[in-house]
A and B are shown apart, each in its own frame.
Chain A
Amino acid sequence: MAGLEAQGLTKRFGRVVAAREVSFLVKEGELFALLGPSGCGKTTVLRLLAGLAEPDSGRVFIAGREVTALPPERRGVGMVFQTYALFPHLTVSGNIAYGLRFGRLSRRARARRVEELLELVELPGYGRRRVHELSQGQRQRVALARALAPRPKVLLLDEPLSALDAALRLDLRKELRALLKGLSITSVHVTHDQGEALAISDRLGVMRAGELVEVGPPEALYRAPRTPFVASFLGRANLWPAVVVETGEGVAVVEVGGERIACEGEDVPPGTEVLLFSRPEEVQLGAGDLRAEVKAAEFLGDRWEVHAVFTGQPLILYSPAPVRPGETVAFGFSRPPRLLPREGETAQ
């Protein structure tokens, strides 16, 4: 059974289309991430799921039941807000217990549930603290505990880590994933941070300008995107205009600036204009017969990021040792490049 389903969600604000025909399905217990640049409509989609905004068209199903016409308080969703939106007039316990007030729990059962959640988010003994006495990281945990307390069917997270500093963000995203997987709760996690989406989700959807461009497991989307936008948004990418010259047996040979390169690909008729796509880590330095001229090299600590030019096209690759600008280097591919259609824009 589906944990959550969005069917053709469309929302306009005046003349701006914030979400256009957005459809996706989240399996029960699955952690789904919605990724996209700011202003792409991902938060709008989340608000449509929560019932905090009404769609112009489209439907929302939670645990198999249509909830499109229900107000937020009757949808059984929990939400973690970007600003956390903790109630400043209540204590930590008061915040966590807030969503339990409206059920049929006894006072004692409520207190027990609050203790349980404080344990879960590793803040035991913090119940009587006031919200303004907590650090940002602690606030984030309280917001999560508050959203989980009424045992929602679906948990919605709106950029839950963006208010934290970089180091804390990395720690908490590991914890967050472990915690949500431990609970097997269906979740939708909205973020603009590719690393976060790749690390945290079971599957992810990439949005651009109100449209859901691609959906898939993180690794598949990273390695084999179907659009130049996703290829360039999910990480560093070498994207070169190329023309197919030969095909057969899962291999397509393309020409880039007079050089022939063998790529993964089938059924692409010779003469088709395509984009050659490879990740920098798939480019092997010193192995192969292609030549590029180094323009700049940037030291990243564990390696060098090399910016070079190959037949007029920019090439990014990683090198364990320093290379000098002006140097000509030989390179090949540890994994054959893939072919993408020449349509849409890239994210770079």
Chain B
Amino acid sequence: MTGRRGAGTVLALLPLAFLALAFFLPLAQVLSQGVREGGRWTSGRLAEVLADPYVRHLLRFTLEQALLSAGLSLALGFPLGWLLARYDFPGKGFLRAFTLVPFVLPPITVALGFILFFGNAGYLNRGLMAALHLPSPPLRVLYSLWGIVLAHAFYNAPVFARFVSTAWEGLDPEPLEAARTLGARPWQAFLTVTLPQLLPAVLSAFSLVFVFCFLSFAIPLALGGARYATVEVGVYMYARALGDTPRAAALALVEICISLGLTYLYLRGGGLFLARDGGGRPLSRVRFPSRPAHLLWLPYLALAVLVFLGPLGAVVADSFLRPWGGKAPTLSWYAYVFSGKSNPFLGTSPVGSIALSLEVGTAAAALALVLGMIVAAVLRRLRSTLLEALLMAPLAVSSVVLGLALLLAFGRPPLAALGRGPAAIVLAHTLITYPFVVRVIRPLWEGLDPALVEAARTLGAGRLRSFLTVELPLLSRGLLLAASFSFALSLGEMTAVIMLARPGLVTMPLAIYQFLSSSARQFGAASAMATLLILVAGATIWLWELAGRRWLARYGGT
């Protein structure tokens, strides 16, 4: 219908205009600084940056740690996916929910957990020293390549577990049974039939995790310092510590080229793989533990508990156990975190940063919801790859680069009109989170029977009314899920914030980082605040796994 298409085109102009003003223009202005000098185009600065030994070190280190991190994530995550796909055991729902952790848990809390648990004076080393009567810490993993790789593995192994278990559960059991009747032993059948079928999922997860780790910021910043810095940290340091924007822009261009290439490989290599339907009969599962052979899982489970629960447990424990005025356990760190006492390293009070985070998170979630709905509506009506690429483009740009672009854009009209308050951070978080809203809402919306709206129309509801009374209520739970996700993401996001922050304009993750890195080193305050963020992440996961599933059960049947 021509009218429908026309309305779609008008609707498309809204998000396009917004993105042009708030995203494409600022981005173009920043990146052009990397290839322009004195009003002329030049490749000189790019060549200069690429020849710089420090930049070469950054690139080499970033790729190296991403490769190692993805490898270790695979090693830790594959068995977890195996457990989820092939066994039934108490607490399985909890474990499955845990695989959502990397999507909502703020990286800075993971970094803090690693310092507290694996650090030289951490719980693990202190425990080992006490148990084995050692004079010095036996495990020295932190502040090295391996510390970063281990933290990344903690963060990304669940991604592998999710991809592998989803793919494995979707496998048709019959080829495996055929292999057995043809004479293959169980392990031979696994190697020759199951594993090759899982390979696309593994590769897909590998490339995705590689991109995550390539663009990692908070973990290398907190655990690595200048020596073990990623490109993302490098852009931040050039821009904010050295004030060399052109150089930062040139490095950002290099980074974008590499990350776009990697993303392209991910999409080509099997990003679509997950859309595949499973075979008819579900795979049979084994109760765990029920056989002696299951004892072989014990070392892995012990390691998993150590790596996954250790750091998180350390954060929560530390928030109560870190002595305050000689007393432990104590609730004083929470009292401090909720106090209005100004902290010189924050430029505001701890409770001020909590308030700012809630304010930014609420505003960003609301804006992301509106923008995401409009984009989903547009992409539903006008199917165009180019339009989709344009409307989802912020997904492809790293948070440091986005932060840098907005930092400069807010210094000049028209965005300067929004003031020097938290507007820039809200905008950054809106741009970071709305693509996720689109991803949640669009399949739900497209899954609605079009006859529902048509029925509403024949019953006397106009276009807007039928949207408000039929589509919106049916999408409401999805919107709630998307909003909770955006809110959690905004609350934990530190990368764009650190680019845009000023004294006094400090959100919770940045406050944690300041508590950690400032000369005062207030670990107790950092732990208390990080515990709050872990609670938010936990609540979000709970909402997704439980409420989300119940909702599907309710509406999915009709």
Binding site for B on A (CB under 8 A): 50-54, 71-73, 75, 77-79, 81-83, 85-89, 98-99, 101-103, 131-132, 146-147, 149-150, 156
Q: Is the CB of B458 within 8 A of A147?
A: yes
Q: Which of B293-301, B449-457, B481-489 contacts A (4 or more CB under 8 A)?
A: B449-457
Residue of B nearest to A77 (CB): B458
Interface-central residue, B451, B454, B458, by most chain A CB under 10 Å: B458
Interface-central residue, B1, B454, B461, by most chain A CB under 10 Å: B454
Q: Is the CB of B454 within 8 A of A52?
A: yes
Q: A98-B459, A102-B460 are known contacts; what are 8 more A-B pairs with Cβ within 8 Å?
A: A50-B458, A53-B1, A73-B458, A78-B459, A88-B474, A102-B459, A147-B458, A147-B459
Residue of B nearest to A89 (CB): B473
Assembled-state Cα–Cα distance A103/B465 (Å): 13
Kindly list chain A residues whose C-beta atoms are within 8 Å of the C-beta of B458.
Answer: 50-52, 72-73, 75, 77-79, 147, 156
Assembled-state Cα–Cα distance A87/B462 (Å): 16
Is the CB of B557 closer than 8 A to any CB of chain A?
Answer: yes
Kindly list chain B residues whose C-beta atoms are within 8 Å of the C-beta of A81.
Answer: 451, 454-455
Kindly list chain B residues whose C-beta atoms are within 8 Å of the C-beta of A103.
Answer: 460
Kindly list chain B residues whose C-beta atoms are within 8 Å of the C-beta of A85.
Answer: 449, 451-452, 454-455
Q: How many residues of B contact A (CB 8 A)?
A: 26
Q: Is the CB of A73 within 8 A of B454?
A: no
Shortest Cβ-Cβ A-B pairs, 8 listed: A99-B459, A85-B451, A72-B457, A102-B460, A85-B455, A79-B458, A132-B558, A88-B558
Partner of B1 from A54, A73, A88, A98 at Cβ < 8 Å: A54
Residue of B nearest to A73 (CB): B460
Is the CB of B555 closer than 8 A to any CB of chain A?
Answer: yes
Kindly list chain A residues whose C-beta atoms are within 8 Å of the C-beta of B339.
Answer: none
Given A88-B555, A102-B465, do A71 and B452 touch, yes or no (CB 8 Å)?
Answer: no
Is the CB of B517 closer than 8 A to any CB of chain A?
Answer: no
Kindly list chain B residues whose C-beta atoms are within 8 Å of the C-beta of A86.
Answer: 455, 558
Is the CB of B470 closer than 8 A to any CB of chain A?
Answer: yes
Binding site for A on B (CB under 8 A): 1-3, 449, 451-452, 454-463, 465-466, 469-470, 473-474, 554-555, 557-558
Assembled-state Cα–Cα distance A82/B451 (Å): 9
Q: Is the CB of A150 within 8 A of B470?
A: no
B467 → chain A, closest Cβ, in Å? 13
A114 → chain B, closest Cβ, in Å? 13
Partner of A102 from B461, B463, B473 at Cβ < 8 Å: B461
Kindly list chain A residues whose C-beta atoms are within 8 Å of the C-beta of B470.
Answer: 87, 89
Q: Is the CB of A79 within 8 A of B462?
A: no
Given A53-B1, A54-B1, A73-B460, do A98 and B469 touch, yes or no (CB 8 Å)?
Answer: yes
Assembled-state Cα–Cα distance A149/B458 (Å): 12
Q: Is the CB of B457 within 8 A of A52?
A: yes
Q: Is the CB of B456 within 8 A of A98?
A: yes
B188 → chain A, closest Cβ, in Å? 47
Kindly list chain B residues whose C-beta atoms are within 8 Å of the C-beta of A89.
Answer: 470, 473-474, 555
Partner of A83 from B2, B451, B462 at Cβ < 8 Å: B451
Assembled-state Cα–Cα distance A82/B455 (Å): 11
Assembled-state Cα–Cα distance A83/B454 (Å): 12
Q: Can you report 20 residue pairs joining A to B where beta carbons are below 8 Å apart?
A: A52-B454, A54-B3, A71-B462, A73-B465, A73-B466, A78-B458, A81-B455, A85-B451, A85-B454, A86-B455, A87-B452, A87-B470, A88-B474, A88-B555, A89-B473, A89-B555, A99-B460, A132-B554, A132-B557, A150-B460
Kindly list chain A residues whose C-beta atoms are within 8 Å of the C-beta of B558.
Answer: 86, 88, 131-132
Kindly list chain A residues whose C-beta atoms are within 8 Å of the C-beta of B455.
Answer: 79, 81, 85-87, 146
B359 → chain A, closest Cβ, in Å? 32
Residue of B nearest to A156 (CB): B458
Assembled-state Cα–Cα distance A99/B452 (Å): 13
